[in-house]
Amino acid sequence: MPHPVYRAILLFGLPGVGKGTQGQRIGSLPHFRHVSTGELFRSLDPESSLGQEVRSYSERGLLVPDELTIRIFHDAIGRLITSGQFDPAQDTLALDGIPRNVNQAKILDGQLRVLRIIYLVSSDEQVMIDRMKRRAEVEGRKDDADEDVIRRRFDVYRRETKPVLECYPRALIAEIDALGTPDEVTAAIKKELAAS
């Protein structure tokens, strides 16, 4: 059965740039629903075979395979629709972490109608590393505690995720400075969404 076409805003940027924070804020706006693949992965039962498989990738700073990611994503959207938390007829997804590479963008082409890409840009990687280490302490996220794993995630982002931006028209991409306060970044994003 074909999937419906979902309206979507895509959140892009290095790990630690604030996609989750901003995604949650966008998701609190009327007719927006934030979906983070990282949160979907972390919400899996860690004792389940699926949870163990996903964790085996994330703890090494590697991407979860595309087929598995897309399946988990569609299952989650199906649950949101069934529970009444997302109405594809009138709501827009704020997606954080998907599509994460060019292949995923191709798989989702025709399933997502991308309205805007919010590209959170940081000129200082050390700030992102420090943010992630603080997040690791607060949220107990092992994948954010090890600087070598963080730097590997940055490399994976540059090699696999950043090229996704080239799959979409340049006019859809709004670059926003991620080094402002969360409120400043949110205000800049709202301005972009209002203009789209």
User: pLDDT (tens digit, 9 = 90+) per residue, 129-147?
Assistant: 888 888 777 777 766 678 8
Residue 2 pLDDT more than 70? no
Contact 13, 178 (CB under 8 A): yes
Average pLDDT (137-163) is 83
Tell how strand 112-121 and strand 32-36 pair up.
unpaired
How sure is the predictor about 166, in pLDDT bands with cuts at 50, 70 and 90? very high
CA distances from 58 to 27, 54, 129, 161 (A): 24, 6, 17, 15
Q: pLDDT: is 86 or 128 the higher one?
A: 86
- Amino acid 5: pLDDT: 92
pTM listed for this prediction: 0.86
Average pLDDT (142-157) is 82
Q: What domains, with CATH codes, occur in the chain?
A: 6-195 (3.40.50.300)
Average pLDDT (31-48) is 89
- Amino acid 127: pLDDT: 84
